[in-house]
Amino acid sequence: MKKRQNYALALSTVVLVCCAALILGQKVNAAGEGKITGTVKLDGPAPHMRGIDMSKDPYCSKAHATDPGHLETYVASANGGLENVVLYIADWSGAATTSTAVPVFDQKNCMYTPHVLAMDVNETFKVQTSDQTAHNIHPLPNPMVNVGWNQSQPPGAPPIEKSWKAVEVIPVKCNIHPWMNGWFVVVKGPYATTDSNGAYTINGVPPGSYTVTAWQEAAGTQNQKVTVAAGGSATADFTFKAK
């Protein structure tokens, strides 16, 4: 019962915050958009990432002859910067992002580049292949939330353009190469993904108070409250512990 009360409390907080953001957003629409920046770090040494045996497909093992493939659950730089963390505004109530750049998910050397692709709800993204071996691109959403599909991408296949209708973290796999796994992170509003140094910038944030969420595929999510001034820049740094 307490759990339910907590839920009710959380829900009403979210609703209140949303309303507040809506009112705030309307007031300051004319003012310049700000941004949220920061760095995501990994606490302690990066866990060992197991190597991948690609001998099943000679094309793949040849592509990794000098640089053996390994899992990408945690990709950290020498100074602890954590890559592939998605940052978004949990209590976003504004319009959809108006970015003109189309997010691209590439199948390269039998791995997904990027390993994590973030996108807005209903934003068009592109799936392409750079490989000379056949892949099938198979996202596995919860059928109650988003509708999954499964399409082949043999060598030279044309890119596929798709979008997702609801917020969800969707695992992606290739059945032909069982080690290939990636993520589509569908969020509402502006988002950013950390680079190889763990740095990120969420652009196009109207002034107001927000909850920034950082999502890491294995370590989970963390939240932080920030206030963005008109045309200003707020900072939110995160530190994850490897699980």
The distance between the two most distant Cα atoms of the chain, rounded to a whole number of Å, is: 60
Closest by CA to 194, choosing from 51, 80, 69, is: 80
At its nearest, how many Å lie between another protein and the CB of residue 167?
16
At its nearest, how many Å lie between another protein and the CB of residue 27?
35
Residue 10 tokens, joined: 């959380």
CA–CA separation, 72 and 95 (whole Å): 33
CA–CA separation, 137 and 152 (whole Å): 6
109 binds another protein (CB under 8 A): no
6 binds another protein (CB under 8 A): no
Through-space distance between the first and last CA atoms of the chain, rounded to whole angstroms: 30
What x/- string results for residues 134 through 173 when contact with another protein is judged by CB under 8 A? Answer: x-xxx-x--xx--xxxxxxxxxxxx-x-------------
The smaller minimum CB distance to another protein, of residues 45 and 158, is found at 158
57 binds another protein (CB under 8 A): yes
At its nearest, how many Å lie between another protein and the CB of residue 1?
9
2 binds another protein (CB under 8 A): no
Question: Helix, strand, or coil here: 173?
Answer: strand
Counting every residue, how long is the chain? Answer: 243
Q: Which residues bind another protein (CB under 8 A)?
A: 56-58, 132-134, 136-138, 140, 143-144, 147-158, 160, 175-178
